[in-house]
Structure 1
């Protein structure tokens, strides 16, 4: 006779909020569990006992009439009915929330077997974009999509100082909260957007380096000369590098070649290909 064990692999699961997750549990013998009893519970964060996640007993469970499921899991949990005959008692929890982070137990009471696994739900990473460059600086925006609960968001500099920003734009959609926050940067440096889940104090962040050299927008009068600034932040030697200035065409006729430099060879000393309007 085989000794039956419960198998949980992996025992630590990390997922982003708003996504679905499978909590694995199966019998080592892979024998049919359609006529058995298994019970999934969540260890409560406070002293209020275990939370009922999903209970199955010979085909009777929380999704077909059984009462007793904890309110926070109603309509979010299901099992793999076709896999029961192979000993699979795993469940899937949809639209994971920060509050779902905790230890879970899978219990087969009549087999006197119980296993534990730890679930970590992290906030989705923010996405940073440069929206515009003006005389006032560079306008940055970050967006958080699908946060399971409404987070606190802010812009910071590299030292953690809060940067001035407009009020965040918040909308609640089917996959969670969507938040955007903008700031205007006027100095060269690293900017960090920080997302904090209030209920768990977990943080995620993303960074962008902004180099502001002179004005982002240059205004001159016709007939005057103008310098278009561009340099490496490291100030390293570029005599033997390649760089190419182009003008975005006003019509659908491609980019205009302004100035191409390649290890000392350029449009003013023999290189061909410069657009007519910029020759000389």
Structure 2
């Protein structure tokens, strides 16, 4: 306490040195050792303008003194690590992750789950399990109904972090569903393209055989019979079409008259192959 006004004014004018991160952490630890519970710790840190976020509180909880009858806030368990585990569970971490991270025993994990207000883990005694019990129940988180029920529970949870996590999971599930449908449609389209490609290659092979002068080996359908078979004679228009086709496919034909038998046979085979392709 200053007794001289001049000294007090001089002290007030001194420039304050900013508190470093290490100093703030040390001060927070000292305060945690004197706080009554989590709420009291948060209020003290806030009053002293020290970091008081959820992560800061979780880090400082092990330093809280254990009390049998806390005066404010949620009741504290006997072990500080159990308080940390309960806080992690309330933040949405899985029990297995909490147990492996903090190195808790099964009894300590059960105590943390109970303190966090979560449903107790089911008994996993293998000797008591029957084939009927091995079938997933509707409330089993591994089943579809269990996943939906778990998401509904998380979406209505009082903790914002759990609600946010449920929203992210819901969004990821929707994205995966759309991706699955897209992949299925793509596979179906690829199968159709492969089938069409095989049919096209087969038709092209038949056409190459016709161009080289070989008869198609595939039996002709009744609807694919050439005009010469059904009528015995070819019209002028058909002969003109045959000459045009023959020149386009490398045959030498006269401008008038009936082309040679080899040309007629090749033309008839080409028509038969085209009809078979359309029929397929």
Question: Which TM bucket (shorter chain)?
Answer: under 0.3
Q: TM-score, normalised by structure 2?
A: 0.22
Question: Which has the larger share of helix?
Answer: 2
Structure exhibiting the larger radius of gyration computed from Cα positions = 2
Q: TM-score, normalised by structure 1?
A: 0.22
Ranked by relative contact order (alpha carbons within 8 Å, sequence separation 6 or more), the top structure is 1
